[in-house]
Amino acid sequence: MSDVPEPAQSASVLTRLRHPVRWLSEATGNGPTYALLVLFGLNVVDELDRTAFGILLPEIRREFDLDLQAVLTLIAIVYIAAFALQVPIATLADRHRRVPIAVAGAMAWGVFSFTTGLAVGVIMLTIVRCGSSVGRAVVDPTHNSLLADYYEPSMRPRVYSFHRAANAVGQFLGPIAGGLLA
């Protein structure tokens, strides 16, 4: 057996590529497409930021004269901060409106990610990277709940898979962005 798609299947793939908005509308069951695209975009830039930071880490290491232990300590502190923030943010998202929480998290992430490039010392770099971990801490609890609120249960597998594809897109674009910045 061959893995070549049947003509009808390849025609539907081409139709999806030619009309992505229609395809996205069908995939969401005519749910709010704009909300999905915004949440997708926020997830992409969060993943892009983390991946680009990893690509730029050798340059950062040279700039601040850090040894391997210092770099790993910095990364561990950032991940612990993200993990510690996730539970309170999830509790807040469970009891209050999620959209303002997602917006506030995106704004905090943007400010701290921009400030990462302005860090003049290791302590400042650690603080701003911990602040940018707010983005990751907000994505999981608020985005998942918003997607569950916006879409019917029968559409959720497609919606969640589209939203999670943002991680792969961000991981693909992160090294490119990091390379352009280096």
Same domain, 24 and 43: no
pTM confidence score: 0.82
For 135-176, what is each residue's pLDDT tens digit?
Answer: 788 888 899 999 999 999 998 998 999 999 999 999 999 899
Same domain, 25 and 73: no
Predicted confidence at residue 65, as pLDDT, reads 93
Binned at pLDDT 50, 70 and 90, residue 120 comes out as very high
Instruction: Give the contacts of 42 (CB within 8 A, at least 6 positions apart).
Output: 102, 106, 135, 139, 143
Average pLDDT in the 101-120 region? Answer: 91
Q: How far, in Å, CA of 156 to CA of 164, rounded?
A: 12
106 has a pLDDT exceeding 60: yes
Mean pLDDT of 103-109: 91
Q: Give the CATH number, domain containing residue 57.
A: 1.20.1250.20
| pLDDT over threshold 70, residue 7 | no
Same domain for 80 and 144, yes or no, is yes
Alpha-helix runs per DSSP H in 28-181: 33-63, 68-95, 98-116, 122-138, 144-150, 156-181
User: Residue 21 has what pLDDT?
Assistant: 73
Same domain, 79 and 156: yes
SS3 call for 64: coil
Indicate if 11 and 83 belong to the same structural domain. Answer: no
Domain count, the chain: 2
Q: In this structure, are 65 and 14 located in the same domain? A: no
Q: What is the pLDDT of residues 27-58, one digit of tens each?
A: 777 788 888 999 999 999 988 988 999 889 99
Owner of token pair 């009891």: 95
Query: CA–CA separation, 180 vs 135, rounded Å?
Result: 23
Q: Using DSSP, state whether 175 is helix, strand or coil.
A: helix
pLDDT at 97 over 60: yes
Q: Are residues 47 and 4 in the same domain?
A: no
22 & 101 share domain: no
| 91 or 6, which is more confident | 91
Do 39 and 118 lie in one domain? The reply is: yes
Q: Find, among 108, 109, 107, 129, the residue nearest to 118 by Cα.
A: 129
Residues near 86 by beta carbon (within 8 Å), at least 6 away in sequence = 136, 137, 140, 141
Q: How far apart are the first and last CA of the chain?
A: 47
Q: Are residues 146 and 173 in the same domain?
A: yes
Cα separation, 156 vs 161, in Å, equals 8
75 and 51 share one domain? yes
Do 126 and 84 lie in a common domain? yes
Range of the domain at 2: 1-30
